[in-house]
Structure 1
Amino acid sequence: MRVVAQGLAGIANASRVLALILTIFVASTVAGCASSGDEKLTLHTAKGDFAFRVEVVDTPKSRADGLMFRQELASDAGMLFDFKEERPVSFWMRNTFIPLDMIFVDAEGIVKTIHVNARPQDPTSIPSGVPVQFVLEIPGGRSVEIGLKAGDRMDHVRTSGGQGG
């Protein structure tokens, strides 16, 4: 009987340890989501100012994942890739299921080039054409809707002239 009681006590302890591990995992996951939460960004065009909520990705892993495997993107949402220095960059749409506009932006927040409606799952390279620090991905066709052109401005806290949103 004593062995059974010790076994049950061991199971109870293991359950408490497992619960603690699960609590720590959930807390760290929630904290990770909060720290990489959406940030405000504004695109200034001749048609007006357009606010977006963006997820910022600035590590090799997060930039590599990008918007792959996502099934939808709200019209006021996007992803901002920060390369932390100006350089030529290139993107593709492999494993990306929604059409995207890719907006290539310099460190000061000036839009340099725009690729409209990148085709889902297309492995063709889409180059920036010039050195940029940022690439903003928004829903396909949205840049045309808001009248975005090269030379327009993107405000975000990370741009050198950054006003935020």
Structure 2
Amino acid sequence: MRILNPKLLFCGALLLSTSACATRSADNAWVELGNKRFDVEIADDDAERARGLMFRDQMAADHGMLFVHDFEEPQAYWMKNTHIPLDILYFDSNLKLVAQQRNVPPCSAGDMCPSYPSDVPAKYVLELNAGNADTMNLRPGAKLVVSPGVIKAE
């Protein structure tokens, strides 16, 4: 018999009305990239990373989501149940841009949605509204600056 986590049940119940349980919200969490600052939500466990930006119809222009993985390894993201187009930016453990998938379209095909891989090891993934990477003219090696306390000491 599988015992369900009450917090996950609560989050599931709120799913249609809010995304409050989707990620850990660090107070005033932000990242800077390409001389732009974005307020970010943090997804640093399996459930939060799996939920990501699913079911959202919009995201403020100066917002994003930072996914923190346990290990630096090739990553692959998909747009299952994601309603907004995104730029998916992959960073190594030194916070340097190593791969990017720009202008990734929404997908409502469930498990048939394609994946968008990094093809190289990455530890952090930043999702922003589509078009930001083009506007900032991001190139490999661009440095991501993260607000204090967002990345846990290893």
Q: TM-score normalized by structure 2?
A: 0.75
Gaps of 5+ in 1: 1-31, 161-165
Structure 2 residue identity aligned to 1:126: Y
Structure 1 residue identity aligned to 2:71: E
Cα distance change, pair 152–159 in 1 and its aligned pair in 2 (3 A): farther
How far 1:74 moved relative to its partner? 1.3
In the other structure, the counterpart of 1:140 is 130
Secondary structure, aligned partner of 1:144: helix
In the other structure, the counterpart of 1:20 is none
Aligned sequence identity (%): 35
1:1-165 map, 5 Å = 36-37=25-26, 38-43=28-33, 45=34, 49-121=35-107, 123-156=113-146, 157=148, 158=150
Larger Rg: 1
How far 1:75 moved relative to its partner? 1.4
In the other structure, the counterpart of 2:9 is none
Structure 2 residue identity aligned to 1:58: D
CA RMSD of the aligned region, Å? 2.3
Q: State the alpha-carbon separation in 1 of the partners of residues 116 and 31 from structure 2.
A: 23
Q: State the alpha-carbon separation in 2 of the partners of residues 71 and 143 from structure 1.
A: 20
- Deviations, residues 71-122 of structure 1 (Å, cap 9, x unaligned): 1011110000000220111111110000000000011110001100111016
Q: State the alpha-carbon separation in 1 of the partners of residues 119 and 140 from structure 2.
A: 12
Contact 1:102–1:138 (8 Å) recurs in 2 = yes
Runs (4+) of structure 1 moved beyond 6 Å? none
Contact 1:108–1:159 (8 Å) recurs in 2 = no
Considering fraction of residues, name the structure with more helix: 1
Q: State the alpha-carbon separation in 2 of the partners of residues 69 and 140 from structure 1.
A: 16
Q: State the alpha-carbon separation in 1 of the partners of residues 138 and 123 from structure 2.
A: 18
Cα distance change, pair 159–152 in 1 and its aligned pair in 2 (3 A): farther
